[in-house]
Amino acid sequence: MSSPHPGDGPTPPPDSTQPLPPSPYVPYDAVGSPQHDPSWSQQAPHPEQAPQYPTHPQGSAYAMPSTPPSSRRRGPGWAGAGAMTLAAALIAGAVGGIGGGLVAGGGDEGEGPSIVQRDGSPAERPDGSTAAIAAKAVPSVVTIRVSGGGGSGTGSGWVYDDKGHIVTNNHVVEAAGEDGKVRIELTDGSRRDAKIVGRDSAYDLAVLEVDPQGLDNMPIGSSDDVVVGDDVVAVGSPLGLGSSVTSGIVSALERPVSAGEAGDESFISAIQTDAAINPGNSGGPLLNGDGDVVGVNTAIAQVPGQQQTSGSIGVGFAIPSDVVVRTVDQLITSGTAEHPIIGVSLDRRWQGQGAKVLDEDEVQGGDAVIPDGPADNAGIEPGDVITEMDGRRVTDLDQLIVRIRAQAVGDKVTLTVQRGQQEKELTMTLEAAEEN
């Protein structure tokens, strides 16, 4: 896959691909979809100019800031009223809880209900329980408040290291632009000004820097160790309600997710979870049973046909921690992140198994296989169909793209290709896309 921006990759003729359908992974408050240039075939994504890659019949949406930017996205009309309704419900619940506590006191022995006393402090919970995980994690999860020319809103983030770096989603802070304001709010209600260190729309990640005094960084686990069925906990600020904790399981792995507006999409081989994730959860951590970060919550599903997302329907997506660590370290070091490519143009019209490289005569002003690129050096030719990557089946071009993007620049991958009646196994080294 090449990086599809001017001068860096081939541009097929307008009739070489079908018009791209709207991506099912769009900002949660977007209505309709932007127009796309049908001349672009499927290529390696680039944050400045990339086609949309629909991957699933159901829609998905960013778990956007609870008050979305006004200039680029339409805010949901229910957000403010919904937040007030929730606040009223919380107050009513608190009053009811106090009354209930008084009633449940019981009388002398034998005259009332038996009271089972826990050993130790009432606040203690077994290791690995959701309560124990939450107690350790919540102080290191922050609410992010953004205002700027692109609008205002809230999202989530978490403490990455002892230098005051905070990890969040790019779409949480992008509304700040060049001159906007970003602040974090801690669990005690105090706020600190934050500086954007770097952000990357292709992986939908951003790094902030704040005064590190009193902050505890979160332990990070390897997403490669995660399996379907693992218990997970999500922490964040849905609808601006800070320090909210939800739990569930890992529902699926390597779910191809592309989300965002035209030219500003992210491409994720995502962890799918049924832990409730709502607008405002974006950027918050997804934790395993040991309380380690294994993902960054970034998107939620949208029921097909709905114009805007009303909340969690039990299908949320997180960026795997292995990708997060690699990207965040690059953002801290240089302010930018590398994006691996293989240097081919893929055919979205292809209906068969795998991902098909365009034939040479379908490309105008470029090449189906970039000369001296990773694919060319490995022996891939125009018209080849990539059917496997590292011994695992490739079902379509979307899956191939997110698998490539989950790798690091310099990694070696093995591709199985079908060329006519022959099957070949080729090894290539991934290279970095040339960024504008």
Count CB-CB contacts under 10 A for residue 244: 22
Name the CATH superfamily for 14-29+41-46+338-432. Answer: PDZ domain (2.30.42.10)
- What six digits make up the tokens of 412? 């070696």
**pTM above 0.85?**
no
Backbone angle region of 20, left / alpha / beta, with phi > 0 → left and psi within -120 to 50 → alpha: beta
Q: How far apart are CA 303 and CA 39, in angstroms?
A: 30
Place of tokens 């191939």: 400
Told to judge if 188 belongs to the known catalytic residues of this protein, a careful annotator would answer no
Q: Name the most confidently modeled range: 85-94, 146-155, 266-275.
A: 266-275
Query: CA 106, 123, 187, 128: dihedral to nearest 10 degrees?
Result: -130
Over residues 203-212, mean pLDDT = 97
pLDDT at 429: 97
- Of 10-19, 59-68, 70-79, 91-100, the range with the lowest mean pLDDT is 91-100
Told to judge if 162 belongs to the known catalytic residues of this protein, a careful annotator would answer no
List of E strands, 27-172: 59-62, 141-148, 151-159, 165-168
All residues at 6 or more sequence positions from 75 whose CB lies less than 8 Å from its CB, including other chains: 29, 67, 68, 151
Residue of 247, 258, 282, 321 marked active site: 282
Where along the chain do its domains lie? Answer: 14-29+41-46+338-432, 55-76+127-334
Q: 123 versus 32: which is more confidently predicted?
A: 123
pLDDT greater than 50 at residue 107: no
Q: Is 55-76+127-334 assigned to CATH 2.40.10.120?
A: yes
Residue of 8, 204, 264, 396 marked active site: 204
Residue of 165, 171, 258, 398 marked active site: 171
Bridge partners for 417 per DSSP: 386, 424
Told to judge if 171 belongs to the known catalytic residues of this protein, a careful annotator would answer yes
Position 364 confidence tier, pLDDT thresholds 50, 70, 90 = confident
For residue 269, the number of C-alpha atoms closer than 13 Å in the C-beta half-sphere is 19
Do 90 and 54 form a contact (C-beta atoms < 8 A)? no
pLDDT in tens, 158-172: 999 999 999 999 999
Bridge partners for 247 per DSSP: 233
pLDDT greater than 70 at residue 354: yes
